[in-house]
């Protein structure tokens, strides 16, 4: 409710002064940009390397568990406890590594996404200036778009050379 009131407080004065407002669907445009596909391929490559490392860790852990289970009956209590702790530590290292992977992938995604966003914003700015728009809003957050509103999505796609 607060967002709607805030939006009305911003939009009503703008409308009263008869300024031109445009809107774009930035998610649609970004999804069609070739840089976004390239970003996905880069992330998949990095993720593949991490998954291989994690699979190797899991394989080593499984071997140690199998060895432990086979030798458990012949171990002394102190060795049994030591091996259990060793397995628990290995499992914990795998969990920490998995969390580190997730954080790194998220950071890489943000790193790869930044220039794409900048390129999109530059195209939006150029089209908005060419069409004399005072403001440009993203359709994804709009509650209502009038039929006569200026949709800049196609023009921004053309500016970026995408269909």
Structural domain tally of the chain? Answer: 1
Which range has the top average pLDDT, 3-17, 79-93, 141-155? Answer: 79-93
Q: What's the whole-number mean pLDDT along residues 107-115?
A: 96
Gap between the Cα atoms of 100 and 53, Å rounded: 12
Q: What's the whole-number mean pLDDT along residues 87-96?
A: 96
pLDDT at 34: 95
Structural domain that includes position 143: 2-160
Model confidence at 148, in pLDDT bands (50, 70, 90)? confident
Q: How many CA atoms lie within 13 A of 103 on its CB side?
A: 6
Model confidence at 66, in pLDDT bands (50, 70, 90)? very high
If you write DSSP's letter for every residue of 55-122 in order, what string do you get? HHHHHHHHHHHHHHHHHGGGS-HHHHHHHHHHHHHHHHHHHHHHHHHHHHHHHHHHHHHHHHHHHHHH
Q: Are strands 150-151 and 21-24 parallel, antiparallel or unpaired?
A: parallel
pTM above 0.75, yes or no: no
Question: Is it the case that residue 7 has pLDDT exceeding 80?
Answer: no
pLDDT at 155: 92
Report which of 158, 135, 162 is spatially closest to residue 14, judged by C-alpha positions. Answer: 135
| Better pLDDT: 149 or 117 | 117
Q: To the nearest whole number, what is the mean pLDDT of the chain?
A: 89
Percent of the chain with pLDDT over 70: 89
Q: What's the whole-number mean pLDDT along residues 41-66?
A: 95
**Which of 27-36, 43-52, 53-62, 140-149 comes out lowest in average pLDDT?**
140-149
CATH number assigned to the domain comprising residue 121: 3.30.910.20
Q: How many CA atoms lie within 13 A of 41 on its CB side?
A: 5
pLDDT at 8: 56
DSSP tally for the chain: helices H, then strands E: 5, 3
Question: Is it the case that residue 127 has pLDDT exceeding 80?
Answer: yes
């Amino acid at each position: 409710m607060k967002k709607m009131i805030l939006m009305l407080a911003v939009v009503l004065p703008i409308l009263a002064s008869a300024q031109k407002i445009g809107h774009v669907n930035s998610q649609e445009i970004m999804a069609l940009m070739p840089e976004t596909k390239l970003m996905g391929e880069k992330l998949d490559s990095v993720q593949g390397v991490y998954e291989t490392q994690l699979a190797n860790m899991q394989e080593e852990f499984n071997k140690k568990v199998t060895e432990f289970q086979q030798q458990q009956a012949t171990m002394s209590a102190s060795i049994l406890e030591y091996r259990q702790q060793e397995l628990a530590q290995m499992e914990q290292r795998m969990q920490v590594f998995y969390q580190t992977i997730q954080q790194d992938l998220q950071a890489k995604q943000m790193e790869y996404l930044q220039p794409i966003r900048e390129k999109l914003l530059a195209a939006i700015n150029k089209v908005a200036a060419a069409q004399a728009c005072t403001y440009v809003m993203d359709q994804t957050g709009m509650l209502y778009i009038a039929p006569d509103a200026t949709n800049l999505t196609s023009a921004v796609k053309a500016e970026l050379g995408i269909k």
